[in-house]
Amino acid sequence: MFFAGKRIFSVSGLSSWKCRSLIGSLVMTLSLSVNLAIAGDPFRVNNPKPIGEKTAAAFNAVFREGDYKAATEIYLPEAAAQEPDEPLIYAMKASMVYTDWQSDKKNQALLDSFKTYASKTRETAEKLKATDPLRGNLYVAVGHGLDAAAVITEKGTLNGATQALGKLQEVYRSLDEAEKIAPEDPEFNLLKGWLDLLISVNLPFANPELAIKRLEKGAPSYLAYRGIAVGSRDLKKYQQAEEYVDRALQETPNNPELHYLKAQILVDAKQDQEAQKHFQLALANSENLPKEMVAQIVREQCKSQNSIDRNEQNKRNCSAMRNQVRAIEGKWGPSLSQLPKLD
């Protein structure tokens, strides 16, 4: 059993890959859903909270524009130097390192760096609680969630599940404290909604509709819509998923991950022809994305095209195309002209 506050989730019978997906997905979910400021606080019309300019620029680069390269090489180093008391910096750094580690799982230095940033997120957030208990508790939750991912990453699902689920209890304890302070706060509802939705689509007997209702109270809206689209896709509610990803795209039309998400939704809905356009848009600025992400998009695009062609004799080797991207030197994706061709 997993107990957190008044919530009890049964994990008996949960497959190892689902447990690994549940914990691993916390990395991007937690760092995705925390505070930023782009020309002011995007969460609150009243009583906005100031966030450092460099931190905001890094978040904007990743989650509005999908420019991981600029965030990693320019904005996050500047933010760490100029705004060292902002825990979002370390949460984002952790998520970036985790992405790097996914493509180089034998690299112990990357794993150690991820653990360091996870701890730094939590430690910085604990200090923030003295002046801003709402955001402090939110980031303490983020830090514990990253710790849980680190446990699973290092020890594996079977050996690390108990310790990781203990960390998730700490996540929800901190979120409960934040809820006592401001239950209607849009930032709180965004983060809590993402986590509840992630839990609900992976564990039996949870209610994803409650998570979606919470996300609808979150802001900025493009991240709330993205969360609802992800959850709806996983629940096989493809019409709803497409509706919400389209809403997010209206606000952030150049975000490659949103186009990738829409392509996945269309593939699941057996609309491969339409999905191809969005795979292409997802790869339009591939050199700004992590190489492993580009490799996975290439593989899924290839599989979708194979479904369209239905020609077994000339079927493309999609894993080989993915590996071709992985073999290119560097941590960032190749340019569009360097990507493997479908034809």
100-158: pLDDT as tens digits: 887 787 889 999 999 999 999 999 999 999 999 998 999 899 899 888 888 887 787 77
pLDDT of residue 203: 60
Contacts (Cβ under 8 Å, ≥6 apart) of 257:
66, 282
Q: What span, in angstroms and rounded, lies between the C-alpha atoms of 295 and 69?
A: 16
What is the pLDDT, as a whole number, of residue 42? 55
Average pLDDT, the chain: 83
The arithmetic mean of pLDDT across residues 224-229, rounded, is 91
Q: What's the pLDDT at 8?
A: 35
CA–CA dist 279, 261 (Å, integer): 9
pLDDT digits (tens, 9 = 90+) for 302-343: 999 999 998 666 789 999 999 999 999 999 999 999 999 987
* Radius of gyration of the chain from its Cα atoms, rounded to whole angstroms: 20
pLDDT band at 40 (very low <50, low <70, confident <90, very high): very low
Rounded distance, CA 219 to CA 212, Å? Answer: 13
Place of tokens 């034998």: 106
Burial class of residue 11 in the structure, from the number of CB atoms within 10 Å of its CB (0-12 exposed, 13-18 middle, 19+ buried) = middle
> Which of 2-11, 17-26, 238-247 comes out lowest in average pLDDT?
2-11
Q: Which helix (H) or strand (E) holds 79?
A: helix 76-82
Which residue has better confidence, 205 or 179?
179
pLDDT of 19 reads 43
Extract long-range pairs of 94-101: CB within 8 Å, 24+ residues apart.
94/27, 94/31, 94/118, 94/121, 94/146, 95/27, 95/28, 95/31, 95/32, 96/68, 96/71, 96/72, 98/27, 98/28, 98/149, 98/153, 99/68, 99/290, 99/292, 99/293, 100/290, 100/331, 101/153
Q: Which amino acid is at 172?
A: Y
Percent of the chain topping pLDDT 70: 83
